[in-house]
Structure 1
Amino acid sequence: MRTNLPTWKSALGVVAVTGAALLATAPPALAQDGGGGPDPTAAPVQERVSAEVRPGVVYLQTEVHTYLRNVADGSVEGPFDETYQCTGFIVNPNGYVATAGHCVSDLDIQESLAKEISANAAQSGYDPTLIYDYVMANYKLEGDVGGSAADKKVTVAQASEGSSQTPMQAQIVDSKPNAQGDVALLKVNATNLPTVEVAPANSTTTGTQIMSIGYPGVVDQVMDPSLEPTFKDGSISGTQNQKGVPFLQITADMGQGMSGGPTVNQQGQVVGINSMGVSERSASFNYVAPSSTLLEMMARNGVQPQAGAFDEAYRAGLADYYQGYYSDAEEQFARVLDIAPGSKAATDFKARAARAHDQYGDRGLGLLGWGLIGGGLLVLLAVVGLVVGLVVRKRRRSAAVPAGTVAPGFTLPQGYQVPQQQQPMTGQQFQQQYGQPQYGQPQYGQQQPVQHQAPAGFGSAPFGQAGPAPSPASPPVGFPAPAAPAPRPEPAAAPAVAVATPPAGIATGPSGPGHCPNCGAARATGARFCGGCGVGIG
């Protein structure tokens, strides 16, 4: 007997009913509570990108104490004490920070001092261009001791942590001045820092929407000092070269102090480092060093651009928050606070997620809801597996015992051997051995009864069917009445019938094809037994 397994449509219906039952029994927190206020799920891309990038942005300050020594005659100008304000961003959670090269490079610092000296000389009637060229060609930076390096102190502070944090001192790992690529790599003594993802080299095309981030110094001239960076929208407008060095031209407005900050795409990946700008009366042109220049420097110093545990939890929390999974977002930001207990960004967003949950409820199922559905599916799969196992087991138990074997639990008498079973003939094999069937019955293999013609005097009902009892004909004088043959299934082939020899003194009747060879009685057409004496007719 064949057992029909459930179809895929039936299984799908069971899953749907199970899921509906689970949702019906879900806790109230899985449903929307309603409320008002701005909807985080409708926040613009700029808000989401700035929220992701902001923790990895740093305010950078370089303090320089130096002298300018004339390499020709040994004369010294100075000392000079300068402070440069820039921006940077963390590229590796183990304390690696990227910025613009001109924020820390000796050559760019010397250029800045040469511009200052030439501007003062112009007030005394000197040609500022000649003074600038002379300083750049004949002087170099040095420290308090002749021949020593200039004294530079680089300090960084995270944008998202506010003014209460303690600034971190940074060492210069590598740098390229503006004319050679304008990139620098710094190192602070810290771990588990938030990072900004760096885009692969040459992955940016003209027209890409971008956002430039940094601390424009002009803002501090009119506003209270703050560690809150500025985000400026724009796009990539082309690729330019400066003495063979590539730079990306952008339309975003930038100001002094934004140098070294990241320019990111709409996925929050750094495509360039804020470098320089050219201003004219009608327009301004700003440039960023492409991410490929930074990646080359990092590779040269064995630094990988990678995310850390802070980033994984924080970005997962943001993704949940902006999709409306506020309970999950709170859990993710709590994980961030386990990693970095003082993180102001994680604290702020955890509170925002709690408020959004109070106003809107969770838009999705959350971890608990998915856990319930997952548990229900596991139970359903277990039940299906049990049913399939029982069906398979039943099939195996009901299968026929192969020839030559004994059913489990039975033993044979000693010396008894199981007879070999023969396979039944097919219709074609029967025809080959015995010839074509004679009675017009259906082809072998069809499950239909074989009809046979009854012997004369036995009525019209074929063998195997109910009918009136036959009335045999009277036998010849001296012969006992033969017993009526019992009905039996049609044999595969009729055995040969021996013709009886009549006793001596009894004359046989007529003979021939139409008569019984035993008694001579007329033979009915197709009869296999004589109607007179009951002897089988061959």
Structure 2
Amino acid sequence: CLIWTNAHVVEGADTVTVTLKDGREFGGDVVGEDPLTDVAVIKVQAQDLPTVTLGNSERLRPGEWAIAIGNPLGLDNTVTAGIVSATGRTSAQIRVPDKRVQFIQTDAAINPGNSGGPLLNEQGEVIGINTAIIGGAQGLGFAIPINSAQRLAQELIEKGRVDHAYLGIQMRTLTSDLRQQINSDARNNLRLNAEQGVVILGLMRNSPALQAGIELGDVIVAMNGRTITDAEQVQRIVQDTGVGESIAMEIDRGGRQLSLNVLTKALPQQ
């Protein structure tokens, strides 16, 4: 039997103890965990355990009912209810370290101890895995969409890890203030002409971006034919790109327009 939970719940563990609602306990082996998405899979040797029905998180709309189950502050099997407040929240928006997944926002009460528990719709189908709260805020809980969790869990089951595509860049959304700041800095030779896009401020050694010919000060203005206006767009496109796939980029380099193809690689394991 396989159990999906959060990577931060089992961080550093090879084995765990799984306690069911009826009090039965089982030893569990951590099949794999992915810190970049906060998804983990546990395997227990048990038969005929109760299972859940998975919903479709792609169909979620703000205002739909959301039900959270967990053990907040050690209070077993606590059920709270609210609504889906929003979908597609990024890690930057919810103030957690860079995660390669977008989140469901809910006002169902989620507290420390809810992590790894299910978020359900009114049909009792699992639509997410509860994962994060914003400290000091009320009515702001976040869950990993179940469609994303299912894809990630399958990769963990097959390989014990998740391979993420990466470019190897440090970037910032280009604003008029940032452009003026860079252009007026006598310590560098960068001159930005683009009105909008994402400016490259750092490149990792041997990275896909460096090997494709991207340089410091380049401004990404389009990717795969889509106009780029902020760094979150770049992150989402890379997130949706498979390892070894190519991304077509339009670059503004000091007023010159260039077309480059970046062949993604797997993000090195930490």
TM-score, normalised with respect to structure 2: 0.52
Q: Secondary structure at the match of 2:81?
A: strand
Which runs of structure 2 are paired with 1:256-335 in the superposition (5 Å)? Answer: 256-280=112-136, 283-300=138-155, 301=157
Q: Does 1:206 align with 2:68?
A: no
Q: Does 1:234 align with 2:75?
A: no
CA spacing shift, 1:229–1:204, aligned 2, 3 Å: same
2:5: which partner in 1? Answer: 99
5+ long unaligned stretches in structure 1 = 1-94, 107-150, 220-227, 303-538
Q: List per-residue Cα deviations over 1:176-196 (Å, max 9, x = no partner).
A: 22xx22111110001221101
1:351-397 deviations in Å (ceiling 9; x for gaps): xxxxxxxxxxxxxxxxxxxxxxxxxxxxxxxxxxxxxxxxxxxxxxx
The match for 2:15 is 153
Superposed CA deviations along residues 301-334 of structure 1, whole A, max 9, x for unmatched, are 36xxxxxxxxxxxxxxxxxxxxxxxxxxxxxxxx
What percent identity do the matched residue pairs reach? Answer: 30
Measure how far apart 1:201 and its partner are: 4.4
Q: Secondary structure at the match of 1:293?
A: helix
CA positional deviation for 1:156: 0.3
**Cα distance, 1:155 vs. partner?**
0.5
Matched residue SS, 1:207: coil
Structure 1 counterpart of 2:29, from 171, 191, 209: 171
Secondary structure of 2:68's counterpart equals strand
Over 2 Å off, 4+ runs: 297-302
On the 8 A contact 2:106/2:139 being kept in 1, the answer is no
- Match of 1:254? 110
Unaligned runs of 5+ in 2: 92-97, 159-270
Q: Distance in 2 between matches of 1:198 and 1:181?
A: 19
The number of residue pairs the alignment matches comes to 150
Counterpart amino acid of residue 29 in structure 2? Q
Cα offset for 1:288?
Answer: 0.6
On the 8 A contact 1:260/1:273 being kept in 2, the answer is yes
Report the secondary structure of 1:202's partner residue.
Answer: helix
Instruction: Give the Å deviation of 1:284.
Output: 4.3
Bigger Rg, which one: 1
Q: Which residue of 2 aligns with 1:321?
A: none
| Secondary structure at the counterpart of residue 298 of structure 1 | helix
Question: More helix by proportion, 1 or 2?
Answer: 1
* Deviation for aligned residue 1:218: 5.2
Q: Does 1:187 align with 2:36?
A: no
Instruction: Quote the RMSD (CA, aligned, Å).
Output: 2.1
Structure 2: how far apart are the matches of 1:186 and 1:105?
12
Task: Report the alpha carbon displacement of residue 287 of structure 1 after superposing the two structures with TM.
Answer: 0.6
Cα distance in structure 2, aligned partners of 1:273 and 1:217: 18
- In structure 2, what residue type is equivalent to 1:288? A
- Aligned pairs for 1:88-487 within 5 A: 95-106=1-12, 152-159=14-21, 161-162=22-23, 165=24, 167-177=25-35, 180-217=36-73, 219=75, 228-239=76-87, 240-242=89-91, 243=98, 245-280=101-136, 283-300=138-155, 301=157
Deviation at 1:280? 2.9
Q: Deviations over 1:458-509 (max 9, x none)?
A: xxxxxxxxxxxxxxxxxxxxxxxxxxxxxxxxxxxxxxxxxxxxxxxxxxxx
State the alpha-carbon separation in 2 of the partners of residues 194 and 288 from structure 1. 22
Deviation readout 1:210-244 (Å, 9 max, x if unpaired): 1000011254xxxxxxxx40000011111201145
SS at match of 1:105: coil
AA matched with 2:79: F
- Kept in 1, the 8 Å contact 2:14–2:29? The answer is no
Q: Distance in 1 between matches of 2:32 and 2:74?
A: 29
Q: Is contact 1:264-1:271 (8 Å) kept? A: yes
CA distance in 2, matches of 1:187, 1:245: 23
> Matches of 1:229 and 1:201 in 2, distance apart?
23
Q: Per-residue deviation at 1:172?
A: 0.9
1:278 and 1:286 in contact (8 A); partners too:
yes
Q: Does the Cα contact within 8 Å between 2:108 and 2:139 map onto a contact in 1? A: no
Whether the aligned pair in 2 keeps the contact of 1:201 and 1:295 (CA below 8 Å) is no
Deviation (angstroms), 1:175: 1.3
